[in-house]
Structure 1
Amino acid sequence: MNQSNREFLEGLLTTPSPSGFEADVQRVWVDYVSEFADEVRTDEYGNAVAVIEGGDPAVAFAGHADEIGLMVNGVDEDGFVRLSRVGGADRTVTKGQHVEIHTDDGAIPGVVGQTAIHLRDTEDDEVEDVAEQHVDIGVESEAEARELVDVGDPITFDTPVRELQGTRMAARGMDNRVGIWVAAEAARRAAEADVEATVYAVSTVQEELGKQGAKMVGFDLPVDAAVAVDVTHAVDSPDLADEKDQHGEVELGGGPVIARGSSNHPEVVRTARRAAANEDLPVQLQASGRSTGTDADAFYTSQGGIPSLNVGLPNRYMHTPVEVIDTDDLDAAADLLAAFAAESAGRDGFAVDI
């Protein structure tokens, strides 16, 4: 990953984007794709689409811009901020964390309170629901707090992007800023290679709330196939070492993951695997017997059925403030999708042969 690619990725990762509040990160994404796209457009909810004009077929590469988080649900009489969840926030990782409350006037720093171990009954050390936790912003009264925050202000963990050893990185919200990075970068590489297919890069909103942005975009996106790029669980950490029978065999650094089954269209799968083989790109396979849980599940039932595929990016510790990815997997995924566009050029759709 070159310096420009890394700066783009870090710009995405350091821009807060809880579901329903994605505008800031969408601006970062739009600025990047505007440098090479023939057209860039956004809709009323902030979904963003970039187009690289070419011939048939038209293919879309899509990630979702939103991240999980918290939200101000109220303020008590002592000025402590009460919480609700945005998406699938994990109550077991929230306590004792630095956070930022994103208000119309800027970010307010705070911490999620955690009772000292000396004062807890560790015999019965259960973690409270998010709604029973609180943020301390340092004020002494409800009136002071309400001068600073409003009910409905989104909250994110205040965690930095960390360079780990080799090509590994840790940050919150890898899910799924890495996906929109790949969608944009794959489109750029396809444009540089002057592929003959038409390529759409898409950054959707509100995936964590039920794939809502993809439902909006899929309604009239004029494509013959859609590839949803999202994170998937790497199972190579100690806590999952004995659970590969249940969760599959995905490893960090092993390359992007091509899902098979359910919403993953067999001809799109074959085209992706052929592109990987032709370019000697590392890929992993994943079984998807029911649903992918990604935007692919929204795209494939749109417009009577858009042939779709979920490409996963291996991720450790999903939905925590310390998600870990390997940037080699991101580069390989961008190369894979650009090769997919090239492999698709000139074909007449992706319909199964009956």
Structure 2
Amino acid sequence: MDESTREFLDDLLTTPSPSGFEADVQRIWVDYVSEFADEVRTDEYGNAVAVVEGDDPAVAFTGHADEIGLMVNSVDDEGFVRLSRVGGTDRTVSKGQHVEIHTDDGIVRGVVGQTAIHLRDPEDEELEDIAEQHVDIGVESETEARELVDVGDPITFDTPIRELEGTRMAARGMDNRVGIWVAAEAARRAAESDVDATVYAVSTVQEELGKQGAKMVGFDLPVDAALAVDVTHAVDSPDLGKEKDQHGEVELGAGPVVARGSSNHPEVVRTVRDAASERDLPVQLQASGRSTGTDADAFYTSQGGIPSLNLGLPNRYMHTPVEVIDTDDLDAAADVLAAFAADSAGRDGFAVDI
């Protein structure tokens, strides 16, 4: 990953984008793809589509721009902010965290309160739901708090990017700003290689609320295949213990993950695997006997069926403020997708041979 592409990744990761509030990160993504795309467009909810014009077939590389978070649900008499979830926020990691409340007038900082260990009953350590937790913004009354925040203001954890050893890094919201980075980078690399196929790069909104942006985009996206890039669980950390075998074989740093089964079209799977193999690009495999839980599940039932694939990016500690990825996996994923576009040029779709 060179300096400019790493700067792009850092800009995405440091820009808050909870579901329903993705505009700021979408602007960064649109600015980046505008440097090489022949056309860039957005829709009413902020989904963004870039097109690199070519011949048949047309293929799409997609990711979702939104992240999980919190939201101001109410303010109590003492000025403490009560919370609701945005997406699948984990109640086990929220307490004791620094947060930022994103208001119309700027950022209000606070902390999610946690009772000191000295004052808790050791026999009653039940985890409080998000709705029972609160943010302390330092005021003493409801009136003071309401002058600063409104109900419905989004909240994100204030977690900076941390460099770990080698090519590994930690941050919140890897899910799924790394996916829109790969989608953009794959399209850029395909454009620079002058591939003959038409390539769409797509950054969707509100995936964490039920793949809503992909449903909007998939309604009329004129493509022959859609490859959704999203994080997937790396199972090579000790927190999974003896249950590792239940979660597959995905490792951090061993390459992007090709899902097989369910929404993952067998011909698209084969083409991706062949493209990677011919270029000695690393890929891992993952069983997907039911849904993938990604935008691929929305694309593959659109328009009577778009051949689709979920390409996973290994991620430790998903849906926490300290998600860990390996940037080598991101680079490999972008190369694999660009190779897929090159090898797809000239073919007449991806229909299963019956």
TM-score (structure 2 length as normaliser):
1.00
SS in structure 2 at match of 1:84: strand
Give the whole-Å Cα distance in 2 for the aligned partners of 1:212 and 1:230. Answer: 15
- Residue 244 of structure 1: CA displacement? 2.7
Give the whole-Å Cα distance in 2 for the aligned partners of 1:330 and 1:16. Answer: 20
Counting only pairs closer than 5 Å after superposition, residues 184-195 of structure 1 correspond to structure 2 as 184-195=184-195
SS in structure 2 at match of 1:62: strand
Give the whole-Å Cα distance in 2 for the aligned partners of 1:48 and 1:230. Answer: 16
SS in structure 2 at match of 1:148: coil
Counting only pairs closer than 5 Å after superposition, residues 229-240 of structure 1 correspond to structure 2 as 229-240=229-240
Corresponding residue number in structure 1 for 2:226: 226
Counting only pairs closer than 5 Å after superposition, residues 227-306 of structure 1 correspond to structure 2 as 227-306=227-306
SS in structure 1 at match of 2:310: strand
Query: Match of 1:286, as an amino acid?
Result: Q
- Residue 241 of structure 1: CA displacement? 3.9
- Residue 240 of structure 1: CA displacement? 1.6
Query: Match of 2:273, as an amino acid?
Result: R
Give the whole-Å Cα distance in 1 for the aligned partners of 2:69 and 2:213. Answer: 17
Give the whole-Å Cα distance in 1 for the aligned partners of 2:4 and 2:122. Answer: 48
- Residue 223 of structure 1: CA displacement? 0.1
Corresponding residue number in structure 2 for 1:178: 178
4+ runs deviating over 4 angstroms: none
TM-score (structure 1 length as normaliser):
1.00
SS in structure 2 at match of 1:61: strand
Q: Structure 1, residues 285-319: CA drift from partner, whole Å, max 9, x if none?
A: 00000010000000000000000000000000000
Give the whole-Å Cα distance in 2 for the aligned partners of 1:5 and 1:159. Answer: 21
- Residue 9 of structure 1: CA displacement? 0.3
Corresponding residue number in structure 2 for 1:313: 313
Runs of 5+ consecutive residues of structure 1 not aligned to the other structure = none
SS in structure 2 at match of 1:93: coil
Determine whether 1:125 maps to 2:116. Answer: no
CA contact 1:62–1:227 (8 Å) conserved in 2: yes
Deviates more, 1:315-324 or 1:124-133: 124-133
SS in structure 2 at match of 1:169: strand
Corresponding residue number in structure 2 for 1:198: 198
Q: Structure 1, residues 41-85: CA drift from partner, whole Å, max 9, x if none?
A: 000000000000000000000000000000000000000000000
Give the whole-Å Cα distance in 2 for the aligned partners of 1:162 and 1:122. Answer: 33
Corresponding residue number in structure 2 for 1:89: 89
- Residue 245 of structure 1: CA displacement? 2.1
Counting only pairs closer than 5 Å after superposition, residues 93-108 of structure 1 correspond to structure 2 as 93-108=93-108
Query: Match of 2:7, as an amino acid?
Result: E
Give the whole-Å Cα distance in 2 for the aligned partners of 1:212 and 1:279. Answer: 35
SS in structure 2 at match of 1:230: strand
- Residue 124 of structure 1: CA displacement? 1.6
Sequence identity (%): 89
Q: Structure 1, residues 212-253: CA drift from partner, whole Å, max 9, x if none?
A: 000000000000000000000000000124223210000000
- Residue 208 of structure 1: CA displacement? 0.2
Corresponding residue number in structure 1 for 2:349: 349
Deviates more, 1:104-113 or 1:121-130: 121-130
Corresponding residue number in structure 1 for 2:145: 145
Query: Match of 1:154, as an amino acid?
Result: P
Query: Match of 1:133, as an amino acid?
Result: Q
Number of aligned pairs? Answer: 354
Give the whole-Å Cα distance in 2 for the aligned partners of 1:55 and 1:300. Answer: 22
Give the whole-Å Cα distance in 2 for the aligned partners of 1:269 and 1:241. Answer: 31
Give the whole-Å Cα distance in 1 for the aligned partners of 2:32 and 2:241. Answer: 38
CA contact 1:276–1:283 (8 Å) conserved in 2: yes
Query: Match of 2:267, as an amino acid?
Result: E
- Residue 159 of structure 1: CA displacement? 0.4
- Residue 100 of structure 1: CA displacement? 0.2
Corresponding residue number in structure 1 for 2:75: 75
SS in structure 2 at match of 1:110: strand
Corresponding residue number in structure 2 for 1:52: 52
Give the whole-Å Cα distance in 2 for the aligned partners of 1:307 and 1:35. Answer: 28
Give the whole-Å Cα distance in 2 for the aligned partners of 1:5 and 1:325. Answer: 16
Query: Match of 2:307, as an amino acid?
Result: P
Query: Match of 2:274, as an amino acid?
Result: R
Corresponding residue number in structure 1 for 2:334: 334
SS in structure 2 at match of 1:223: coil
Corresponding residue number in structure 2 for 1:42: 42
- Residue 122 of structure 1: CA displacement? 1.7
Q: Structure 1, residues 301-346: CA drift from partner, whole Å, max 9, x if none?
A: 0000000000000000000000000000000000000000001000
Give the whole-Å Cα distance in 2 for the aligned partners of 1:325 and 1:107. Answer: 28
CA contact 1:235–1:241 (8 Å) conserved in 2: no
- Residue 256 of structure 1: CA displacement? 0.1
- Residue 4 of structure 1: CA displacement? 0.5
CA contact 1:60–1:202 (8 Å) conserved in 2: yes
Query: Match of 1:315, as an amino acid?
Result: N
